[in-house]
Amino acid sequence: MSDLENFRAETRAWLEANCPPEMREPLKDESDACWGGRNPTFKNEAQKIWMDRMAEKGWTVPDWPKPYGGAGLSPAESKILREEMAKLGCRSPLSSFGIWMLGPALLKFGTEEQKVHYLNQIARGEIRWCQGYSEPGSGSDLVSLQTFGEDKGDHWIVNGQKIWTSYADKADWIFCLVRTDKNDKYKGISFLLFDMASEGVSTKPIKLISGNSPFCETFFDNVKVPKHQIVGELNRGWDVAKYLLGHEREMISGAGNAPMGSVGAMHKDLMAEDPLLRGDMAKLDVDTLAFRAMGEKFIDEMKAGKGHPAQPNMMKYFGTELNKRRHELVMAAGGSDALEWESEASKGGAKPRAWLRTKANSIEGGTSEVMLNVVAKRILDLPGA
Ligand SMILES: Cc1cc2nc3c(=O)[nH]c(=O)nc-3n(C[C@H](O)[C@H](O)[C@H](O)COP(=O)(O)OP(=O)(O)OC[C@H]3O[C@@H](n4cnc5c(N)ncnc54)[C@H](O)[C@@H]3O)c2cc1C
C-alpha cells in the first residue's frame, strides 16, 4: 500500500473507533453544533468526548502546523480525512470563527507569539470568537467604518458601535476592525483582538425573521486594548481584513453542500406524486454535485498556491444561492403544512425557520450583489463593475 493508502486505512480505523455514534448524526441546526469557549456548554457527553479526542489528535485543525495545535497534515492527507469523515457521517468536532476566519489570518499575519498563544486556544476550542466588522452604515462599504481607537501610548481607547455581530453575546473575544488614522480611508484601519469581558463592552441581541437571535449590536465605550493585541501592522488592518474575508466566504459557501437527495428524503410521498417537483429536485442535486466538484478543484488549487484570490466570492455566491433554492424547494414540497411554526410535530417549525434563516446566507459575509461585482471585475475583467 502507498503511504496515502495507509493513511486512509489508519484514519478510517481511528474514526470508527473514536467517533461516538451520536456524533455521526447530522446536525439539526446551528445550536446543535459544538462551539467551545471559556464556559462551554455541551449538548451531551458524546459531543465533549468527540471534541477532546479530535483536538488531542490535532484534527480540529488538521492542516495547521503541530506547534499551533494542528496535525501538520499535507493537503492530500487533509482531503482523505475530510472524505473518511464524510463517509462515516462524522460531524465536525468544533464550529468556530477562530478556525474558519481568525486562524488563517493569524497564520499569515500574526507574530510567532500570537500564533502559539491564540492558535492553540482555537484548536482546543477554549476561546469563542466573534467578528467585529460591520457598523451601522458600513456593511458592503466596510472601509467607511468609524469605530475609533485613540492612541494612548501602550494601549488604545476604543469607542464606537458594531452591528450584526454574530454570537457577540456568547463570544469570549472579538477580532475587530478599528480606525486608528482618520486621514486615510484604507490605510487608517487596524485589526485588533480583545476580550469581550473588557470594561466598556456591551451587546444587545437582534432578532432575525426566523425568530432566533444569533447576532447583536455591540457597543464599545472607552475600551482599553493593549498595543500587543494588534494583528499585522498599525493602519494596515485592511490587508488582514480582506484576507480573512476570503476564508469567511469560503466557509459560508459550505451551506451549498447539503447531502444529495436531502429535499426528497424529507418529502417522500410528495416526491412520487409531482413530476415537476421531482424535476426541480433532480436539477438541484445536479447543481450540488457541480458545486462540490468546483469546491474540490478550488481547494486543491488554493493549497497548491495556484488559486485565484476571487474564487471564494464565486463559491460564496453559488453556495448560498443554492442553499436558498434548496430550502425554497423544502417549503414548496411541504405545501401549507410546511408553514406550521410552533407545534411539537413540526419540531417548533424547524423547516420554516431554517428556510427563513437561509435568506441571510446571501447577505452575511458580503451580499450576492457584491460577490457578483467582484467576479465581474476580478475574474471576468469586465469594465465599470
Ligand atoms: C446572519 C448574519 C450574520 C452576520 N454576522 C456578522 C458578523 O458576525 N460580523 C460582522 O461584522 N457582520 C456580520 N454580518 C453583516 C454582514 O456582513 C452585512 O450585512 C453585509 O456585509 C451587508 O451589509 P449591510 O447589511 O450594511 O447592507 P448594505 O451594504 O447597506 O447593502 C444593502 C443592499 O445594497 C446592495 N449593495 C450595496 N453595495 C452595493 C454595490 N456596490 N453594488 C451592488 N449592490 C450593492 C446590497 O447587495 C444589499 O442588497 C452579518 C449579517 C447577517 C445577515
CATH code of residue 9: 1.10.540.10
Q: Are both 287 and 375 inside the same structural domain?
A: yes
Question: pLDDT tens digits for 184-196?
Answer: 999 999 999 999 9
The band of 300, judged by pLDDT with boundaries at 50, 70 and 90, is confident
How many Å apart are CA 305 and CA 318, to the nearest integer? 23
Here the cell at position 41 is 456548554
Which one-letter amino acid corresponds to residue 95?
A: S
Q: Are both 231 and 261 inside the same structural domain?
A: no
pLDDT at 31: 76
Helix orientation angle between 275-303 and 75-88, rounded to the nearest 10 degrees: 150
Which one-letter amino acid corresponds to residue 106?
A: L
User: What own/partner pairs with CB < 8 Å and gap ≥ 24 does 368-376 have?
Assistant: 368/317, 368/320, 368/321, 369/140, 370/140, 371/249, 371/313, 371/314, 371/316, 371/317, 372/317, 374/310, 374/313, 375/310, 375/313, 375/314, 375/317
Asked if residue 146 lies in contact with residue 179, where contact means CB atoms within 8 angstroms, the answer is yes
The band of 272, judged by pLDDT with boundaries at 50, 70 and 90, is low
More confident residue, 276 or 20: 20
The band of 13, judged by pLDDT with boundaries at 50, 70 and 90, is very high
pLDDT at 385: 54
The band of 302, judged by pLDDT with boundaries at 50, 70 and 90, is confident
Asked if residue 184 lies in contact with residue 238, where contact means CB atoms within 8 angstroms, the answer is no
Distance, C-alpha 48 to centroid of its chain: 21
Which residue lies with its CA nearest to atom 51 of ligand 1? 364
Instruction: Compute, in angstroms, the gap from residue 194 CA to the centroid of ligand 1.
Output: 24
Ligand 1 and 363: CB distance under 6 A: yes
Q: Are both 66 and 135 inside the same structural domain?
A: no
Whether 271 is covered by a domain: the verdict is yes
Here the cell at position 183 is 486621514
Asked if residue 102 lies in contact with residue 229, where contact means CB atoms within 8 angstroms, the answer is no
Give the domain-ending residue among 169, 203, 236. 236
Asked if residue 108 lies in contact with residue 243, where contact means CB atoms within 8 angstroms, the answer is yes
How many Å apart are CA 327 and CA 353, to the nearest integer? 10
pLDDT at 184: 96
Q: Are both 232 and 261 inside the same structural domain?
A: no
Q: How many domains does the chain have?
A: 3
Is the pLDDT reported for residue 378 higher than 90? yes
User: Which domain does 76 fall in, by range?
Assistant: 3-95
Q: Are both 161 and 263 inside the same structural domain?
A: no
Whether 81 is covered by a domain: the verdict is yes
Residue 282 has φ and ψ, to the nearest 5°, of: -65, -40
The 10 Å CB-count burial string (b at 16+, else e) for 140-167 is eebeebebbbeeeeebbbbbbbbbbbbb
Q: What does the pLDDT average to over 200-204?
A: 98
Q: Are both 261 and 232 inside the same structural domain?
A: no
Whether 115 is covered by a domain: the verdict is no
The band of 201, judged by pLDDT with boundaries at 50, 70 and 90, is very high
The band of 152, judged by pLDDT with boundaries at 50, 70 and 90, is very high
322: part of which helix (H) or strand (E)?
A: helix 311-334
Q: Which of 73-77, 188-192, 290-294, 298-302 has the highest mean pLDDT?
A: 188-192
pLDDT at 102: 98
Q: Are both 160 and 82 inside the same structural domain?
A: no
Ligand 1 and 194: CB distance under 6 A: no
Q: Are both 82 and 12 inside the same structural domain?
A: yes
Q: Are both 224 and 316 inside the same structural domain?
A: no
Instruction: Compute, in angstroms, the gap from residue 345 CA to the centroid of ligand 1.
Output: 35
Which residue lies with its CA nearest to atom 35 of ligand 1? 369
Give the domain-ending residue among 186, 201, 236. 236
Q: Are both 228 and 283 inside the same structural domain?
A: no
The strand pairing partners of 157, in sequence order, are 150, 224
Work out whether strand 189-195 and strand 148-151 pair parallel, antiparallel, or are unpaired: unpaired
Which of 109-113, 145-149, 334-338, 374-378 shows the lowest per-residue confidence on average (mean pLDDT)? 334-338
pLDDT at 180: 98
Ligand 1 and 147: CB distance under 6 A: no
Probe residue for ligand 1, chosen from 140, 208, 209, 370 as the CB with the greatest number of ligand atoms within 8 Å: 140
Instruction: Compute, in angstroms, the gap from residue 75 CA to the centroid of ligand 1.
Output: 33
Is the pLDDT reported for residue 327 higher than 90? yes
Whether 123 is covered by a domain: the verdict is no
Q: What percent of the chain has pLDDT over 90?
A: 78
Ligand 1 and 166: CB distance under 6 A: yes
Residue of 192, 191, 144, 136 lying closest to 164 (CA atoms): 136
How many Å apart are CA 172 and CA 315, to the nearest integer? 30
Ranges of beta strands (E only) in 167-233 are 173-179, 189-195, 201-206, 215-226, 230-231
Q: Are both 272 and 215 inside the same structural domain?
A: no
pLDDT at 347: 84
The band of 269, judged by pLDDT with boundaries at 50, 70 and 90, is low
Q: Are both 224 and 269 inside the same structural domain?
A: no
- CATH of residue 290's domain is 1.20.140.10
User: What own/partner pairs with CB < 8 Å and gap ≥ 24 does 133-140 have?
Assistant: 133/162, 133/176, 133/177, 133/241, 134/162, 134/163, 134/164, 134/165, 135/160, 135/161, 135/162, 135/163, 136/161, 136/163, 139/164, 140/366, 140/367, 140/369, 140/370
Ligand 1 and 37: CB distance under 6 A: no
Asked if residue 135 lies in contact with residue 204, where contact means CB atoms within 8 angstroms, the answer is no
